[in-house]
Amino acid sequence: MNCIACKEPMVVLELNQIEIDHCISCGGIWLDSGELEAMLEDPEEVKAMLAQFAAGCTVELGKRKCPICGKRMEIVAANKEGNLLIDRCRSHHGIWFDRGELNKVLDLFEPNHHSQIHNLLKGIFSKNPNEPGAHK
């Protein structure tokens, strides 16, 4: 699959049976429907997150196209304040996260950071490749 942001090939990472499509060039992450929910261990947190995404928080129809169905994705507010915007496919609910957005969403819905998946994702995706000490 090619990145929807920079068009570079993406790599597939498998973490605890969850496939994460990751763009090494721009740091974007694609999650198919159900994969984000699988990252959170608390069913109540999953319900809260899905309710937030589905609460009529669509900001606009975006320019990016879904890598699965090719339809334009919508831009939705991932938080109540509306300052964390993510791209979501309206057809099958796949989600695109630009660099750092997945960590911000996980921080919102898992503030205690006890999940193994959360800690692993933080370790993998928290560094900017241009920062000193980041892997290149």
> Per-residue pLDDT tens for 63-80?
899 999 999 998 888 777
Q: What is the pLDDT of residue 43?
A: 61
Cα(134)–Cα(65) distance, integer angstroms: 30
Q: Where exactly are the structural domains of the chain?
A: 11-125
Q: What is the pLDDT of residue 110?
A: 63
pLDDT under 50 in the chain at which residues? Answer: 129-136
Q: What is the pLDDT of residue 16?
A: 74
Is this model's pTM higher than 0.85 or not? no
Q: What is the pLDDT of residue 84?
A: 84
Q: What is the pLDDT of residue 131?
A: 43
Q: What is the pLDDT of residue 129?
A: 47
Tell me the Ramachandran region of residue 27: left when phi exceeds 0, alpha when psi lies from -120 to 50, beta otherwise: left
Q: What is the pLDDT of residue 79?
A: 77
Residue 30's CB is within 10 A of a number of other CB atoms, namely 25
Reading the block at residue 22, the tokens are 């990751």
Q: What is the pLDDT of residue 59?
A: 66
